[in-house]
A and B are shown apart, each in its own frame.
Chain A
């Protein structure tokens, strides 16, 4: 399995190179101007100077290779030097810099990552924890009132966009009831019980909005997978052996049903890092999604390029992880 994983990772390298180049091409073709947001009083020739200083005067392939070198060589080397404290060369390394802030893109990402992981990641975990029991019960009690309600709620949860449910919740819990803050305060530091409570309160709405959306999707998968397995012959064998219904469902059927669901869950993880862009906007969580939006609005090509590429890399990585998980959960599958 290790050999398989290594082989897949090696094959991923050319794929990622192609992806990075396509992203670069698309961004380059898009009619954007990094000086567009500057005050109108700045004359054209100064703007041209700024563009040249950002490296826009160079041919496209040179710009791409520069980015690639900065991202694939300088950034890892920089991280290594930071970790070990040892400097491999005297000249400072040129890192991928944001055009807007002139600070390294990777540092910006690392700054924003915790917010996204907390809010979006937690919502994913909560969504899974809600979805799996709902999926199991809906399948075991197929067509019961629980299943009917579950079907309706997940249909609504899946088809109603998060900006709508988000605004609805803000209207209800912030505006009318005043229980929860409508804006996420990133500067809040958890130091005592009171600030911890404040953190919990500001996380509830964004986490729940996304969790419901995730749960709607995953519970459907879970239900379908359980239903498929409940009619298998081995279930009858387990019953004929005199196993308790709990064991039949929670051991025999569940173990089989989780295989495809775990794969779907693993494939969905990169979405977390994408940061649910819209939800982050609504609740003013300044996570990765918001970083990407501001980057796009400011025509901050290095930022957008790097961030988009990282998402792509995560998708490729989690595809591999999903495959490996499948192999681990299903004894019939052998990688060699």
Chain B
């Protein structure tokens, strides 16, 4: 941890499979990470790398069937989320861990007013009266920059634009002052000014309440701006993880390097989707037995094709799952060998 405090959320070796008619899809294959109070963890990776599924798995939010969380431990303040009683889990969901979903167009219930949906967690977790919950809901809408919030409470989701719905989702996730906020591409549908406003809002939240924020995004500039640490995902695994400065300055994994190379220089147009690395991400029909990036890798060794590299430390809080050592252009020595 950067500041040495206890992690508020600690995930170890999380695994998730979708059991579909055409066999299993191994979407998450042993993901470990943690987040401390007041810390921002940026999560990046190509589309389909398992970012969303990881976050939903750890909160038990994937429908089963088809999804099955087959392993791992998720400790929230020392208690295991995966084995705790339902009532306790409910208190944590929405009350302690807020979740902003990726798709704002479908994530709100179309037949209830925005006010009703915002007031629900306030009434359930904070036990606010109807009037108080309404006042707080309006306050939250104002906070995320929705004009005339009082009146908009009685509107239905379809009366809001995509960007506004996303802000409603953010307001909902923030409503009970969560200890952890999981934000799945929370600003993709927003224009630059609103995005800046949301970023400011989250910074505030972190400063005031010490909320730990997990921020999934494709926007590497944004990560550089707000994150303390970065986690790079590929094929349902963490391939590299480290402090934002170290990782951006000295990326170790060929995949990370490729990602960073797609990033235009300062002042250039921002690119949201990273789709310029040659080749396709693997189909996840089985848990990877070798390095999943090997088929697309420029520095591939024989070992890469037969053995999946574990995460190996390369610096202070910085680790990488790769056999290739960019310093020497030779195979990296395993920690056990050292």
Contact B106 A240 (CB under 8 A): no
Q: Are A242 and B92 in contact (CB under 8 A)?
A: yes
Distance between Cα atoms of A286 and B120 in the complex (Å): 53
- How many angstroms between the C-alpha atoms of A331 and B158 in the bound complex? 8
Contact partners of A176 in chain B: CB under 8 A: none
Nearest CB of chain A from residue B211's CB, rounded to whole Å? 16
A236 and B107 contact, CB distance less than 8 A: yes
Cβ of B234: which chain A residues have Cβ within 8 Å of it?
Answer: none
Which of B30-79 touch A at CB < 8 Å?
56, 59, 61, 63
Taking a contact as CB atoms under 8 Å apart, the answer to whether B90 and A242 are in contact is: yes
Interface residues of B in 149-183 (CB under 8 A from A): 156, 158, 169, 172
Main secondary structure of the interface of A (DSSP, over half): helix
- Given the interface pairs A241-B94, A241-B172, the reply to whether A252 lies near B109 with Cβ below 8 Å is yes
Q: How far is the CB of A334 from chain B (nearest CB, A)?
A: 10
Within 8 A of A (CB), among B166-203: 169, 172
CB of B109 within 8 A of CB of A242, answer: no
With an 8 A cutoff between CB atoms, is B207 at the interface?
no
- B93 touching A234, Cβ below 8 Å: no
Q: Which stretch (B95-103, B133-141, B239-247) binds chain A?
A: B95-103
Whether B93 contacts A237 by the Cβ 8 Å rule is no
A330→B111 contact, CB < 8 A? yes
Contact of A243 (CB < 8 Å), options: B56, B92, B120: B120
Contacts of B109 in A (CB 8 A): 234, 237-238, 252, 255-256
Query: Within 8 Å CB of B117, what residues of A?
Result: 237
Q: Which residues of B contact A192 (CB under 8 A)?
A: none
Question: CB within 8 Å of B: which of A212-263?
Answer: 230-234, 236-245, 247, 252, 255-256, 259
- Chain A 317-336 interface mask (CB, 8 Å, partner B; 1/0): 00000000000011110000
Beyond A236-B61, A244-B90, whether A332 also contacts B124 by CB under 8 A is: no
Asked if B317 is at the interface of the complex by the 8 Å CB criterion, the answer is no
Chain A residues near B94: list those with CB within 8 A.
240-243
Report the interface size for chain A: residues with CB under 8 A from the other chain.
24
Query: Pick the contact of A237 from B63, B92, B95, B107 — CB < 8 Å?
Result: B107
Contact across chains for A234 and B121 when beta carbons are under 8 A apart: no
Asked if B112 is at the interface of the complex by the 8 Å CB criterion, the answer is yes
Are A239's CB and B61's CB within 8 A?
yes
Shortest beta-carbon distance from A327 to chain B in Å: 12
| Pairwise interchain contact A242-B95, C-beta atoms closer than 8 A | yes
Give A234 to B99 CA distance when docked, in angstroms.
12
Kindly identify which residue among A232, A241, A255 contacts B120, using a CB–CB cutoff of 8 Å: A241
Chain A residues with CB under 8 Å of B158's CB are 331-332
A230–B111 Cα distance when bound, in Å, is 14
Give the residues in chain A near B56, CB-CB below 8 Å: 236
| Across the A-B interface, the 4 shortest Cβ-Cβ residue pairs | A242-B94, A241-B94, A242-B93, A233-B106
